[in-house]
Amino acid sequence: MHHSVDRSRTCNRWNRDYPPVLTVAPGDTVSLAMRDSSDGQVRPGMSLAEFAAIDRTRVHALTGPVVVEGAAPGDALEIEILDFAHEGWAWTSIMPGLGALGDEFAEPYLHFWKLEAGRTRSIPGVTLDLHPFCGIIGVQRAEHGEFRTRAPGPFGGNMDVRHLGAGARLWLPVLAPGAGLCAGDAHAAQGDGEVSINGMEAPMTVTLRIHLRKGDGLAAPYAVVPPALVPPRYSAKPFHAFIESHEDPREAARAAVRRAMGYLGTRLGLPRELALILCSVVLDLKISQMVNAPTTTISAYLPEAIFD
């Protein structure tokens, strides 16, 4: 059976005692209409002053919870991610004090994307392929009480795993009766690292098929994802790799991002803010080595194929 949940049925916290918006049987499909991560506060064309004044206690907006018949602690949900439908726009921001380089920006910055069927050309000189996914997908936590949505955990949540797009399968441990599945924080695209603090934040509808695996004993999220780990068009050309090593992995990552931003500024003439926005949605941070303790090497990969 197929079900649909509209985007009026949202919550902004994890809480296993929230009443369900829907109950499904194992094997059912469900389409969840999701607001953008701001809970619908951000809108195309809004001013920077309006953006700075949004209520950040409403981040993130999650559609759900969806109860699965028969689900009990010790079981697992197997979730087939079938499809995403965006609504033609998205946004990405910089907020002082947040993200990888938030200490280097004194003022907020907001960029809007116009989304085509599978691409966006919203920065001059660049064409980006979309690869939509849910930044947050998870089940209710084992603990009673209300919890902010920023930190992920064994329940899933704000994992920002960009490979959980259409065609992926995600397993989540059931930690509370009925599971209480929620999804939100949809991104039209994101780089591994999400370094500005956002991907392409977008209202979107996701369609899932939900299976129940009794007595699975899964301890933490697990996924099987499609083999194209970057949009296929990107693989047709080389990647620029910015490589940094440091005893603090975060500092190595920050240095690599700065170098990628510098490259974008030189090649495209982008201001530093827009260079960071572009890095947040397409630059992939990878751990290259941890063996040479205490030094970690981080490589940041930028696809040549994005340049027009």
pLDDT digits 0-9 by tens, 78-134:
999 999 999 999 999 999 999 999 999 999 999 999 999 999 999 999 999 999 999
Helix 249-268 to helix 272-282 angle (10° resolution) is 120
- Using 50, 70 and 90 to split pLDDT, how confident is the model at 9? confident
* Unique residue bearing structure tokens 């209520």: 55
**What are 231-273's pLDDT values in tens digits?**
999 999 999 999 999 999 999 999 999 999 999 999 999 999 9
- Using 50, 70 and 90 to split pLDDT, how confident is the model at 220? very high
If one counts every other C-beta atom within 10 angstroms of the C-beta of residue 216, the result is: 17
**What are 177-202's pLDDT values in tens digits?**
999 999 999 999 999 999 999 999 99
Instruction: Give me 241's structure tokens.
Output: 């790799």
CA dihedral of 300, 301, 306, 308, whole degrees rounded to 10: 80
Q: CATH 2.60.120.580: does it fit domain 2-224? A: yes
Fold of 236-306: Endonuclease I-creI (3.10.28)
What is the model's pLDDT at position 194?
Answer: 98
d(CA 158, CA 161): 9
Terminal Cα-to-Cα distance of the chain (whole angstroms): 45
What is the model's pLDDT at position 76?
Answer: 98
Report helix, strand or coil for 295: coil
- Mean pLDDT (whole number) for 214-220: 97
Question: Average pLDDT over the chain, rounded to whole?
Answer: 98
What is the model's pLDDT at position 128?
Answer: 98
Domain boundaries in the chain?
2-224, 236-306
Per 3-state DSSP, the chain is made up of helix, strand and coil in percentages (nearest 5) of 15, 35, 45
- Mean pLDDT (whole number) for 52-73: 97
Could you tell me what percent of the chain has a pLDDT over 70? 100
Yes or no: say if 234 and 130 are a contact pair by the CB < 8 Å rule: no
Who's near 29: CB < 8 A, 6+ residues apart?
1, 2, 3, 82, 207, 208, 209, 210
- Using 50, 70 and 90 to split pLDDT, how confident is the model at 209? very high
